[in-house]
Structure 1
Amino acid sequence: MNTTKTAVHFVDNELISPTNPISVNLIGAGGTGSKVLTALMEMNHSLIALGHAGLQVRLWDDDIITSANLGRQRFAESETELYKSVALINRCNRFTGTNWKAETAKFEKGKLGRLPDYAQATITITCVDNVQARFGIAEILKEISNRRNHRDEPKYWLDFGNSQHTGQVLLSTIGEINQPQSEKYKTVANLPMITDEFGELLKQSEQEDNTPSCSLTEALEKQDLFINSSLTQMGCSLLWGLFRNGMTPYRGFFHNLKDFNTHPIKVA
């Protein structure tokens, strides 16, 4: 008889029954980030309806909307020349009455070598388009995780990444999350960061040409029309499951839209 226990991660209690809205840093407002923000808006409304305190989102992006962003990203022609983060956050706040914040800057250390206190959040979601940015964010998260007794102490990092037809979503913990005793499951306190577990693979897959696309046609040559939205729905479903179930046997997935294959990554 097989007595192997299923490995699961139990979610930090702060996410399940918080006194205040859960702080979320969403980094990147492009093809994936603009769609993730819409999913967070839906998630926030649903959580509040279920008696949860909801989410408080801060969107980081220093890019300006251009005509190449229309169609594949969540922007209208009337919004060209505006900051992506400002256009999206203003729209969300008007639509749902939230007080979410926009930052027209990159999520990185300032001249004094540190982030402002308001840059700290319980959940960090990254939708960035280059590997170097991921490593920089990982370094910052490890550094600020040492600031204890802070209401917005970093707990989780959800990273979205993709190429033209493929992509992945990976959930990490920032340090270890206390786990309950369980006779039924093998509890896992630490979910490794993507930069630690797949760092070399990320470096090998990085493309040399990261220049902005000048048209929608050129953008579609780099990323297929629906790769961002398919990753968004599945990745945000993973996050939604953390709130609803309080535990997860999965910490992400690899996704190939061209042949419709998705491979889950199990907690181990």
Structure 2
Amino acid sequence: MAPDLDHVRVRLIQVRERPAVIAEEQASFRERTGLRVDQLAVTDALSDALSPALLDDVDAVMIGGAGAYSVVDTFGWTQSLVDVCRACADRGVPLFGSCWGHQFVARAFGGEVVHDPSRAEMGTHDVALTAAGGADPLFSTLPARFPTQMGHHDRVSALPPGAVELASNDRAPHQAFRLADAPVYGTQFHSELDEATERARLVTYRPYYPEMADDDVFAAVLDTLRPSPAADDLLRRFLLLYAVEGGAERLAEAAG
């Protein structure tokens, strides 16, 4: 683990039902951030109480995926999670949403999300920085174009008011955004996955994607998989930049 993050504590909010996926997602976030088990405070949105009090003892919040719960739909816990997201912005607590989390953060701040399998991206695909991304404190440390790990049927169709698009591709816009006035970020791609865990996810979730039933289609998706080193380090850099005193300087030194 990076010494700079030794005292950072992160709240991971999960919306998962399958124990194996719950454990794998937690391990993936720890790997991508470099945090120890005791530094990751896990909250299950399906069973735990959701309130701004979850922010009291953490330095940042991250929201992961949700296989069976589309952001397009509203559930009993939806408004409570919206309140947590908005409290992050109000208090200046860094918030990062990955894939489903990205979509939920967008909705929480007034953006729009649509169910759109026609633009689904499975496997490894490139995204390109926008002009705003090239000037962003976090995304400017990334290459102008870089590979990412993807898997989704929903996407953000309209950003929240005041948000800025940081990365896009030809398949779907709004691959990454941030709020202009708060350390709140989202990535459509899975910032918590690398090539190996993306492969494992695809194998695990194959029965839930009708288009993957065809062996040739599934093989073609697996053939897209390749390393994504820039995206793999995004969550660690996010914490270094926003959750560590003096982290911005250290991140700039490393980039320079």
TM-score, normalised via structure 1 length: 0.34
- Higher relative CO (Cα under 8 Å, sequence separation at least 6) belongs to 1
TM-score, normalised via structure 2 length: 0.36
